[in-house]
Amino acid sequence: MKRLLLSLLFLIFSGTLSFAWECGKAPPTQSPQRRKAGEAFPPLPLPATPLRRSEKKNPPAPPVLVGKVICGSNESWTRAENDIDNLLKVASAQLGFSYRATKVDLNSFSFDPEEIPILYITAVESFTPEEKTLPRLKNYLEQGGFIWANASSGSPAFTESTTRWLARIFPDRNLYPLYSNHPLKMCYQTLDQVNILQEGKESLSPINLRTLNLGCRAAVILSPWDLGCGWAMHTHPFGIRYQPAEAINIGLNMLVYSLAWIESGKLYGQLPVYTEPVKKKSGKIYLGQIIHSGDWDPHPSSLGKILRQLGEQTGSPVYVERLAVDLKRDDLKDIPILYLTGHYDPRFSAEEIQKLKSFLQGGGTLLADSCCGSQEFTEAFRSLMQSVLPQAKNIIWQEKNPVYQLPLKIDKFLYNVPVERPPLEAYLLKGLPIVVFSPFGLGSGWEGIPRPFTPTLVPGQARQIGINVLTYLMTH
């Protein structure tokens, strides 16, 4: 039904069954009645104020959601002129909300996400913002803004230049492909295999988006394959691009995802990372968090927060400052519990695997979870355990297990999306839990920021289970 609707929308915009437009000559969109882009942006459409009979009946223009960045001195850079306007039209028809786009000159933009939450950058040529603009883009993203970057016609030059300037403003962060159950793949349409055109030849392919994460939010969404021509309802026999219906579906997911994560983005930079004024750990409970290449630090404040809540709940002395642990170089003899989380495969070296194995066989304990319920991390972690503890017995801790009873009694499990099983599993040696693992984002909830569309525990439940797990590990 949705694909039929997209076909009908295509006919409405085009008036024909064929794609005849040259790139940059997409069907025109009617100019809306203008309203200042700086007016407050609502996360959902506000109710309309009733009009008096004597008032003009033209409705006010909807709020600005997307700013299309001017990437050149003439109009040739915007190969699909009405791409984002047409996507927002389809979103209005399918999703029932109404927003509009505007063009943005980065030299005069305020870089305030409250004014324009999403910046859309697209071109065929290489594009790098001016030097003075880079720190302002960084601040925009850190304050909750989004950047959508689209390689028009699948331009490698655009993808490469975008990757370079992002690496300059975030040298400690990577662009990652989507993991298999990433919310961008399933927040509205379920997308995995999609139809593409490569040099005019049709084929089926996995969706190809890359994200730069701030916390757990995909603050930058980069498409190395062209979405814009599909949004503008036309295509070409050159380059690599999504078919129009697929481009629209991907765009709708990007809209739903960005709208749902706007508030999380605003909260991320406001949370404190806990520190200790006196660096004395003896006699206190503390954890070391393992550094790895699979996005090891998605929620910097969560470990300190759960340790502080553990101290408040149980009266135990805690050291709330988390210790970053490098398995290649750090001595683990004074660390009782290690914590491991991430969205992606940690890709531990043989040296790191041996270090972790020695730690666990020597009496240490590992607490791990898949951030945002990432299936990639879950699969990688289970594979890791086969290398580290092949002799361990893996069990799911069912509802009646003591870990859910003390110090807080937990009668049922609450997730952001439907999940059919308890949240914890353990790896046992001689009947003792050496490793405790949650595939459902235990640490994601400790921070207290919602993770929409993810198979994770709700924040309050994650806090309760975290306190119980740490208490259980200290007493077993």
For 435-465, the pLDDT digits (tens) are 999 999 999 899 888 899 999 999 999 999 9
Residue 386 to residues 284, 357, 373, 427, 441, Cα–Cα distance (Å): 32, 11, 20, 11, 21
Q: Which residues contact 405 (CB under 8 A, 6 or more apart)?
A: 468
87 pLDDT exceeds 50? yes
Give the confidence band of 101 by pLDDT, cuts at 50, 70, 90.
very high
- Domains of the chain are 2-268 (3.40.50.12140), 287-475 (3.40.50.12140)
Distance, CA of 109 to chain centre: 25
285 closest CA partner among 335, 341, 332: 335
Q: Which residues contact 10 (CB under 8 A, 6 or more apart)?
A: 233, 244, 245
pLDDT for 199: 93
2 pLDDT exceeds 60? no
374 vs 440: CA distance, rounded Å: 8
444 closest CA partner among 472, 426, 429, 465: 465
User: For residue 304, how many other CB atoms are within 10 A of its CB?
Assistant: 23
421 pLDDT exceeds 90? yes
286 contacts 366 by C-beta, under 8 angstroms: no
Torsion of CA 124, 128, 130, 133, to 10 degrees: 110
Polymer length of the chain: 476
pLDDT for 427: 97
For 116-157, the pLDDT digits (tens) are 999 999 999 999 999 999 999 999 999 999 999 999 999 999
For 333-352, the pLDDT digits (tens) are 889 999 999 999 999 999 99
pLDDT for 58: 66
Give the confidence band of 278 by pLDDT, cuts at 50, 70, 90.
confident
31 pLDDT exceeds 70? no
275 pLDDT exceeds 90? no
